[in-house]
Amino acid sequence: MLKRAYDGLVAYSSHPAAPWLLFFLTFVESSVSPLPPIPLLIPMCIARPDRAWFYAGVCSLGAVLGGYLGYAIGALLYDSLGSWLISIYGLQDKAAELIATSQDFWFWVLVTKGLTPIPFKIVTIMSGFLHFDLWKFTIGMIISRVTFFAMIAIALRYYGDDIRIFIEKHLPMTALALVVVIVGGFFVLPMVL
């Protein structure tokens, strides 16, 4: 079943709608959804290493635009939608503490979290809730998300065949590692924020 899903993702990567789905997944991951784009990005870059930079650009654009939606949720809808999304990650108790101390270091929190697979929406929503400076927010998002997706594109562009062989040879272990990283981000985030 796992092999069929992987083969399906690789086959879908050459579909004309694949970049749009990748953009959509990245957009909603930065604002409301827990589903990251990485499970689609990796097979797409492996299937078409010549388009890795394009896919990284699609993800970067989706992440930045989705980050603005996350910011709006935090700034305008925190009491309803924002607090519910934050409570999913168990961070509601830290919100007051962050308001009091955040302006001095929040840019670095934004950049650091954007360079990891930890759910980015938490940082975008909290940025809006904290009314963090929108220019700094934009610069931090661009630096972190472009760098994050560019690192993935570089690895897959230049080592794609080796990575593909490894993934296909160790598919269950690779899928488990990906799940551990994604799910682990939900548990690690409250400890590091």
Q: What is the DSSP letter of 102?
A: G
- Dump pLDDT digits (tens) for 88-137: 766 666 666 666 666 678 888 888 888 877 778 888 888 998 889 999 99
User: Is 15 among the domain residues?
Assistant: no
Identity of the highest mean pLDDT range in 33-37, 47-51, 59-63, 179-183 = 59-63
For residue 33, which amino acid is it?
A: S
Q: Tokens standing for 186?
A: 């939900």
Parent domain of 135: 2-9+38-192
User: Is 146 among the domain residues?
Assistant: yes
Neighbours of 128 (CB within 10 A): 23
Q: How many domains does the chain have?
A: 1
Residue 54 has what pLDDT?
94
User: Is 58 among the domain residues?
Assistant: yes
Comparing 8 with 113, the larger pLDDT belongs to 113
Residue 192 has what pLDDT?
46
Q: Which range has the worst mean pLDDT, 29-43, 55-69, 139-153?
A: 29-43
User: Is 17 among the domain residues?
Assistant: no
Q: With CA atoms as reference, report the closest residue to 60 among 157, 161, 158, 143.
A: 143
| Cβ 171 vs Cβ 6: under 8 Å | yes
**Length in residues, the chain:** 193
Q: With CA atoms as reference, report the closest residue to 57 among 124, 158, 167, 157.
A: 157
Measure CA of the first residue to CA of the last residue in the chain; give whole Å. 37
User: Is 19 among the domain residues?
Assistant: no
Identity of the highest mean pLDDT range in 2-11, 77-86, 104-113, 171-180 = 104-113
